[in-house]
Amino acid sequence: MIKSWRQLGAAALLGLALLSSCQKTEQADLLVYNATVYTVNTAFDKAQAFAVKDGKIIAVGSTSDIKGKYSATEEIDAQGKPVYPGLIDAHAHYYGYALGLREADLVGSTSFSEVVQRLQKHRKEYPDAEWLTGRGWDQNDWEVKQFPTKDTLDQLFPNVPVIIERIDGHAALANQKALDLAGITPQSKMQGGLVEVKDGKLTGILIDLASSPVYAQIPNPSAQEMTDALKDAEQNLFAVGLTTVVDAGLPKSAIDLIDSLQKTGELKMRVYAMLSPTPENKAHYFKNGPYTTERLNVRSFKVYGDGALGSRGASLLQPYSDRPNESGFLLQAVQEYKDLAKELYEHNFQMNTHAIGDSSNRLMLQIYGDLLKGKNDRRWRIEHAQVVNPEDVALFGKYQILPSVQPTHATSDMYWAGDRLGKERIKHAYTFKTLLQQNGMLPLGSDFPVEDINPLYGFHAAIARQDAKNYPDGGFQKDEALTREQALRGTTIWAAYANFEEKQKGSIEVGKVADFVILDKDIMTIQPEEIRALKVFSTYINGEKLYSQK
């Protein structure tokens, strides 16, 4: 009798096993389990596992639930590592960064002498190049915090045109050869730009649009050179966990190239492209409307309201504290902004305007408000929103205008921003928490290559208000810091929302694309000073591994 009962029990267990195997019928392409999954859904739930099929997430839950229900051709045992939605940079210059990889790197130079040394080294590496270009210098990082002049460049490179761009992209230094080719003289004047002249002579400094005539002389790279640059840049971005980048200000030619490379599979990065408001771009896209594919979204225009604070081109309501005769300037006439806003509104395109100074922020908020009137779903954006007068802050909420900010700007600028703005006005700058409260969200970006491409640097700056040196103690204007949850949302779901893409990406939820990143340690729990050194373990788009730690 005992033997028969044992046989019956064994048979029952075998039957349950067979039944269980029959029930495990759903096939997936990829399973991720034994992870700490930050879903970044509305409730900010955590999970242990999820399943992916055809590039999309089909289930999220516990390891036992997902492993029990699905089988897959590929499985990832995360061994407790944290998993986040693919990181999104809400404001960057991917195309410009890619092309810049071929230029002299002047970032971090501590003097103009070092800038010159780097240029000489670059010239030796590319002796046959028609132009010598570079970017990334910042006089605020030098002992002598003044704009350089072209004299040394004229002496060293008398027959080679040279132009080097400041870190913020709003000032440049050109030698005489480059100025001659562009036809720039001490008498040159232009809207939205300033040609610096001292003692009746050109210094070589060109502020904002004044550099455009010089850059117009530089031959365009070939299609192959642009392709190679975009592919090289993409790998760098995957290595820091980015899966979508917002490229702020592109010509149609660049968008067409990106589109073609994505369609052939040569380029995998997702791109939300802001168009430059050129006649060609407006003519084409106003006629044909927004353009969207699985990896490319073109439905917005990038507009420049003013220049940058570091080069004193930002338009301020009151003069600069360290230069009382200057208040910055707008890059276009006020009526031009109004006309463009009306065009974009009528053609249903998103308007995203660079506004640094409190004067340009006020103007653009008013222009937006005249068209948006009240609650709406246009999601028009102010890019940077660096200095906002307290009287104007409420306009963001009143008209549902999204401030799109870059946390590392605060920690890069904090060393000298107070000199530009003074003790009282600096309190109205980089006010991330205050801006967040207007619409309950705050998309975060980097503005690379103005800042580093690594989104974890922005995460750290947002929550600690400190730079790579963990300076200052206690944080810069710490009362405007974000929480970790807010910072993560800012670089995932809120960035997706600002792109009209929150239904497709930005969180690990059923039905969304399987874009995710696995890190070595958890940015939600480790000490703030550990965040910048953190490494990305792997990066996935549509469930496809595109980067893995070596």
CATH of the domain at 131: 3.10.310.70
Residues of the chain with pLDDT under 70: 1-24
Domain-terminating residue out of 22, 47, 80: 80
If one counts the domains in the chain, the total is 3
310, β-bridge pairs: none
* Token pair recorded at residue 251: 């010509």
User: Would you say 233 and 101 are in contact if contact means Cβ atoms under 8 Å apart?
Assistant: yes
- The pTM (predicted TM-score) of the whole model is 0.90
What letter does residue 37 receive in the DSSP assignment? E
Taking the CA of residue 492 as centre, how many other CA atoms within 13 Å lie in the half-sphere pointing to its CB?
Answer: 29
Q: What is the pLDDT of residues 467-485, one digit of tens each?
A: 999 999 999 999 999 999 9
Domain-terminating residue out of 215, 245, 272: 215
Does 97 fall in a domain?
A: no
Tell me how far apart the alpha carbons of residues 105 and 138 are, in angstroms, rounded to a whole number: 12
CATH code, domain carrying 495: 3.20.20.140
Position 82, amino acid? P
Encode 459-498: b = buried (16+ Cβ within 10 Å), e = exposed.
Answer: bbbbbbbbbeeeeeeebbbeebbbebebbbbbbbbbbbbb
- Rg, Å, the chain Cα set: 26
Domain-terminating residue out of 49, 80, 111: 80
What letter does residue 376 receive in the DSSP assignment? -
Q: pLDDT value at position 168?
A: 85
Q: pLDDT value at position 550?
A: 81
Q: pLDDT value at position 167?
A: 87
376 with 401, same domain: the answer is yes
165, β-bridge pairs: 135, 172
265 with 377, same domain: the answer is yes
Does 148 fall in a domain?
A: yes
Does 98 fall in a domain?
A: no
Order across the sheet with 26-33: list the strands: 56-61, 49-53, 26-33, 70-77
207 with 230, same domain: the answer is no
210 with 64, same domain: the answer is no
169 with 240, same domain: the answer is no
Does 309 fall in a domain?
A: yes
Q: pLDDT value at position 145?
A: 87
325 with 449, same domain: the answer is yes
522 with 419, same domain: the answer is yes
Q: pLDDT value at position 191?
A: 85
266 with 306, same domain: the answer is yes
User: Would you say 203 and 147 are in contact if contact means Cβ atoms under 8 Å apart?
Assistant: yes
227 with 292, same domain: the answer is yes
Does 107 fall in a domain?
A: yes
239 with 342, same domain: the answer is yes
Phi, psi (rounded to 5 degrees) for 194: -135, 125
263 with 395, same domain: the answer is yes
438 with 466, same domain: the answer is yes
Helical ranges in 414-506 per DSSP H: 417-425, 432-439, 455-464, 484-490, 493-498
Position 14, amino acid? L
Q: pLDDT value at position 23?
A: 53
CATH code, domain carrying 61: 2.30.40.10
Q: Distance between terminal CA atoms of the chain?
A: 61
Expressed as residue numbers, the domain containing 171 is 103-215
Does 451 fall in a domain?
A: yes
Tell me how far apart the alpha carbons of residues 31 and 75 are, in angstroms, rounded to a whole number: 5
How many percent of the chain have pLDDT more than 90? 91
